Structure 1
Amino acid sequence: MGGGKGGSDFDPKGKSDNEVMRFCQSFMTELQRHVGADTDVPAGDIGVGAREIGYLYGQYKRLRNEFTGVLTGKNVKWGGSF
């Protein structure tokens, strides 16, 4: 049992939605080979909300052409729950 944490030094304050989206897409492009439903399931944290999780989810789905429960904290319309 255990958990892992990772992160970046990207500060979304003052950034446009498009800049945040592009960062999240680039981050997931690298992260996707290290996460999965049976490997590691990333979750939101301080400064990472539903918007960012949605961008990460969208990129994961594009890259893998699947979604197997790899992210928590998604909006309901993206497969999340209440």
Structure 2
Amino acid sequence: MVKPRVLRIPDMEPIAKEVMHNALTGYIPPTEEQKKHLTLGKVLTDTEGVFELYVPADRPQDATVISRVTIDRMTGGVKVEVFLTPQN
């Protein structure tokens, strides 16, 4: 039996970056100071790849998450969340 191919981090990361970039259009951007420290976190589960753009803090629970992209590893389906204020 052939094991179905699942997406890997290198397959998903460019998709996540593009989707995240497009989704952030129309939102008030992070401050210049926050931009200096932006980090892309990556978590791989059996079924999903999760990518978070965030500003780290001294304690992980205090990090400021800007956006999250979740990609289904089997279907390639994408879900994006933005945690910024929309521009008027």
Which TM-score applies when normalising by structure 1? 0.33
* Larger proportion of helix: 1
TM-score (norm 2): 0.31
Higher strand share: 2
Q: Which one has the largest radius of gyration?
A: 2
